[in-house]
Chains A and B, each alone.
Chain A
């Protein structure tokens, strides 16, 4: 009966043209002051998403969208506090790996039966994208992208080192090749081979995880932590060897690493898909030292095809669906609008989740898209856990302790294993 009432109210919500609803929206990605509402010309994650939101606010009848001020670093803490205080945003973005925690505690609305009514075609989603927003057989969000780490390449430095063939960078296919290339770059150009934020952001964890997966292992399996393994040691050794030889610097933070790459101080930057359009636009700027930019798929250094990937998605609080069907219907319209603009969001560099967008000529024609087209085939994510955030932080802390403070690898991995096991046992 409750479902019938809800369905009727939803139908009424969609049918009635003028029911002004103010939708609050929570997101990360950073701030964009003057995003406008032209979803076709905005550049960079913050401005592209804000232009889509502004356009939704302008174009959806009877709905205005108010973007709440949030901070990237503390986003989930703010979101949880808002949920605990029973004042969550009506619509909010999140990562797929947080679904277990949020949907598991009953925070998120089950959208399974309401998406079609809102004009969202679930069959158009890639299977992996649908799986990412599904928990216990129910759909709890609308996926927006796949994102992964790429190797952002300065082609001029690679050319100087003789590592360009047929207009493409020659990237390593084994650890030995990686070290040989790094040595070559250093000798021929005097520059660093690899740049990345290995001191604060989770780049190091994502690289190490990718290299562990490439060896067929994982960091935890069900309720058992498996961090202190030969595979983890081999993965970490790849980075520590680069640091020890001076081919990479572990002390850069995110801003410094990005600036170093744009200044032409290193051959390769490890960062995500989210900066492809930004680096592309920077390379076109005469004032920037980076001139020839290439976005390459994360290389396979061991036997298996695997590299860290994630997915952004949009969700609605369960309490909105229960308490305010009209606002819930308006929130679904916002989600549908964002889903319709999956192709615009993909301009950031992220991979689209809709089959129709992926097959479109416009998508294929996006800058550098063909250069990392194989990335989707490597995508791998950590097993779902309610303690994902704490597990990430534990790994980040212990891995960074190895290369920033010379903590013994065995001690760091065994400490990480103890801490993660402690989390999994709770």
Chain B
């Protein structure tokens, strides 16, 4: 497409690109880059939301103290058995990766990726307060742990269920079109509506689930106030809510797979599960990576479900990172600390974006 300047003269490729990119770059700088840099700047201050609004000089530069107060503690030591289950599992994965690489069973890229994650987990989970020590913010790391647990439960569930649904409704019939619409419908609801629906369903007094359990002679579960079920409750809600978009992505991926391959496979007697295992899954590899990484980034930012359904409780068991950031920023007015946590969240999400980038590059290789 030819682009013309003010003088009516046709612009060169570089000038055209600069001109066409300008609106995006301006918006990107104004609404993303500058606020992000401003966030980092705020995180280096003792910055009260209200006080600074009325007196811009009310802030105090504290350097990296907010990072120390959130991430670190008094007399923190490291040991290889601080969180034995996680650390030893990570060590096992690390050793297995090394062995598999040595025998050429996995690619070098995958090995570096999996090995790095295992190494980070092994090292990070080893820090703990020594005798007489404590974390300065004793709620931060458990909150990070809750968020990771939420992601670990939600992402595989959504991926598996939405893939299964996509395979089931990937047929050209009127009924399947109706099902596709129904399964996607929950996605368009707002978090307020979704949590309201599920609070009603989970209610131990008049909820549908309690009624069904009572019908079979059981006693109703207090989903939202029982520590054993609260996380499960917000995971179930999130899975129900988030299936639609993942299913649509999988449907798009499935429709990209040529019918010819299935027909050829059918001649070799590969149908049903075998066709799914050997044709569908390998062809969907990039879609699965995309769905998983998008879901990880999305669900690390979980807020509404925890805030509206359980209030982060009981005993902080459903407290998540974004809710903690929100409370620190708005309830406690501590914008400096809140943005510090937000920067930490950015680093985590940045790491997963990097993973997607690396995996994508490996696919091309």
Chain B positions near chain A (C-beta within 8 angstroms): 48-51, 53-55, 134, 136-139, 203-205, 222, 224-227, 308, 311-317, 326-327, 330-334
Question: A76 touching B331 by the CB < 8 A rule?
Answer: yes
- Given known contacts A84-B49, A107-B50, A419-B138, is B334 in contact with A251 (CB within 8 Å)? no
Q: Which residues of B contact A77 (CB under 8 A)?
A: 326, 330-331
Q: Which of B203, B204, B327, B333 has the most CB of A within 10 A?
A: B333
Q: Are B315 and A84 in contact (CB under 8 A)?
A: no
A105-B48, A105-B50, A107-B54 are contacts. A405–B315 as well, Cβ < 8 Å? Answer: yes
- Indicate with 1 or 0, residue by residue over A393-414, a CB within 8 angstroms of chain B CB atoms: 1000100110011010000000
**Shortest distance in angstroms between A202's beta carbon and chain B's nearest beta carbon?**
11
Q: Can you list, as one digit per residue, whether each of A67-91 has a CB less than 8 Å from chain B (1) or not (0)?
A: 0000001001100110111100000
In the complex the two chains form, is A393's CB within 8 Å of B334's CB? Answer: no
- Chain B residue at minimum C-beta to C-beta distance from A412: B315
Smallest CB–CB gap between B226 and chain A, Å? 7
> In whole Å, how far is B200's beta carbon from the nearest beta carbon of chain A?
10
Can you pick out 27 interface pairs between chain A and chain B where the beta carbons lie within 8 Å of each other? Answer: A73-B308, A76-B330, A77-B331, A84-B50, A84-B53, A85-B53, A86-B53, A101-B333, A105-B51, A199-B224, A199-B313, A200-B225, A200-B311, A251-B226, A256-B205, A260-B205, A390-B331, A393-B327, A400-B315, A401-B315, A401-B316, A404-B314, A405-B227, A405-B314, A405-B315, A407-B315, A418-B134
Give the distance in Å from the alpha carbon of A299 to the alpha carbon of B18 in the complex.
75
- Asked if A106 and B55 sit within 8 Å, CB to CB, the answer is yes
Asked if A400 contacts B313 (CB within 8 A), the reply is: yes
Q: Decide: A80 near B333, CB < 8 A? Known: A405-B227, A418-B138.
A: yes
Ranked nearest first, the 10 interchain pairs of A and B with the lowest CB-CB distance are: A401-B315, A77-B330, A199-B225, A404-B314, A105-B50, A251-B222, A84-B53, A405-B315, A405-B227, A106-B54
A11 to chain B, nearest CB (A): 28
Q: Is the CB of A415 within 8 A of B314?
A: no
Q: Is the interface of B mostly helix, strand, loop or mixed?
A: loop
- Which chain B residues border A423 with CB–CB below 8 Å? 332
Query: Does A387 belong to the interface (CB within 8 Å)?
Result: yes
Please state if B225 and A253 are interface contacts (CB–CB under 8 Å).
yes
By a CB distance below 8 angstroms, the chain B residues around A2 are none
Interface assignment of A426: CB less than 8 Å from any CB of chain B: yes
Residue of A nearest to B206 (CB): A259
Are A80 and B205 neighbours in the complex by a CB distance under 8 Å?
no
Q: Which of B314, B317, B327 meets A199, CB within 8 Å?
A: B314
Q: Does A14 contact B (CB under 8 A)?
A: no
**Chain B residues positioned under 8 Å from A251 (CB to CB):** 204, 222, 225-226
Q: Give A contacts to B, CB under 8 Å.
A: 73, 76-77, 80-81, 83-86, 101-102, 105-107, 199-200, 250-251, 253, 255-256, 259-260, 318, 387, 389-390, 393, 397, 400-401, 404-405, 407, 415, 418-419, 422-423, 426
B residues near A397, Cβ cutoff 8 Å = 312-313, 315-316
What's the nearest-Cβ distance from chain A to residue B313, in Å? 6
Distance of A195 from chain B, by nearest CB (Å): 12
A176 to B330, CA, bound (A): 43
- B54/A404 in contact, CB under 8 A: no
Question: A174–B41 Cα gap in the complex (Å)?
Answer: 56
**How far is B330's CA from A318's CA once the two chains are assembled, in angstroms?**
20
B69 to chain A, nearest CB (A): 9
Add 12 more A-B contacts to A77-B331, A200-B313 (CB < 8 A).
A81-B330, A84-B53, A101-B50, A106-B55, A199-B224, A199-B225, A256-B205, A390-B327, A393-B331, A400-B313, A422-B137, A426-B334
Interchain nearest-CB distance for A278 vs B (Å): 19
Most chain B CB within a 10 A radius of its CB, from A250, A390, A419:
A390
Task: Pick from B139, B308, B317, B333: contact of A405, CB below 8 A.
Answer: B317
CB-based contact B316/A102 at 8 Å: no
Residue from B205, B312, B317 whose CB has the most chain A CB atoms within 10 Å: B205
A175 to chain B, nearest CB (A): 25
| Contact of A80 with B49 in the complex, beta carbons under 8 Å | yes
Closest to B332 in A: A390
Counting chain B CB atoms within 10 Å of each CB, the highest count among A106, A251, A255, A401 belongs to: A251
A253 to B48, Cβ gap below 8 A? no
Do A404 and B55 touch across chains, with their CB atoms under 8 A apart? no
- State in angstroms the CA–CA spacing of A366 and B137 once bound together: 49
Q: Is the CB of A404 within 8 A of B225?
A: yes
A77 to B334, CA, bound (A): 12
Nearest-neighbour CB distance to chain B for A131, whole angstroms, equals 23
Q: Write the nearest CB–CB distance from B303 to chain A, whole angstroms.
A: 12
Partner of A389, one of B51, B138, B308, B332: B332
Q: How far is the CB of B90 from the nearest CB of chain A, in Å?
A: 28
User: Would A400 and B53 count as touching, CB distance under 8 A?
Assistant: no
User: In whole angstroms, how far apart are the Cα atoms of A250 and B136 in the complex?
Assistant: 31
Least CB distance from B225 to A in Å reads 4
Q: A251-B225, A387-B332, A389-B332 are in contact. Are A259 and B313 (CB under 8 A)?
A: no
Q: Nearest-CB distance from A295 to chain B (Å)?
A: 24
Residues of A within 8 A of B203 (CB): 255-256
Please state if A83 and B53 are interface contacts (CB–CB under 8 Å): yes
Instruction: Tell me which of A259, A389, A404 has the highest count of chain B C-beta atoms within 10 A of its own C-beta.
Output: A404
Q: Which residues of the partner chain B approach A387 to less than 8 Å between Cβ atoms?
A: 332
Q: Which residue of B lies closest to A404 (CB)?
A: B314
A198 shortest CB reach to chain B, Å: 9
| Nearest CB of A to B115, in Å | 37
| CB-defined contacts of B327 to chain A, threshold 8 Å | 390, 393
CB-based nearest B residue for A201? B311
In Å, the complex CA distance between A404 and B222 comes to 11
Minimum Cβ distance to chain B for residue A263 (Å): 9
A85 to B, closest residue via Cβ: B53
Q: How far is the CA of A401 from the CA of B227 in the complex (A)?
A: 9
Q: How far is the CA of A419 from the CA of B327 in the complex (A)?
A: 14
Most buried by B among A86, A250, A393: A393
